Amino acid sequence: MRQNVNMEIDILLETVKAKIVCSQCGGESDQTVGWLKSHDLFDCPTCGETADLTTPEWKAKVQSYIDACTGFD
């Protein structure tokens, strides 16, 4: 049963959008939490700036989205 729950969470994370605000141009874009979880870098579609998603700030932000999705246990 636990396996099924984890699969459902993965599917859920693919449907939840997180907002990314570019530190260079302030442009906003949406990516799924699942995408953020599996990528280390994000290229801003507006100015091309690359955001490092491996920083503690980003990890904490992504984790907070995951916690919000999995907080029903």
- Which residues are near Zn ion by CB under 5 A? 22, 24-25, 27, 44, 46-47, 49
Please report, in angstroms and rounded to a whole number, the separation of the first and last CA atoms in the chain.
13
Distance between CA atoms of residues 35 and 47, nearest Å: 20
Q: For Zn ion, give the closer residue by CB, 42 or 65.
A: 42
Q: For Zn ion, give the closer residue by CB, 16 or 51.
A: 51
Q: For Zn ion, give the closer residue by CB, 49 or 52.
A: 49
Element (H, E) at 65: helix 56-70
Residue 44 CB, shortest distance to Zn ion, in Å, is: 3
Residue 48 CB, shortest distance to Zn ion, in Å, is: 7
CA distance readout (Å), 58 to 3, 7, 45: 27, 23, 18
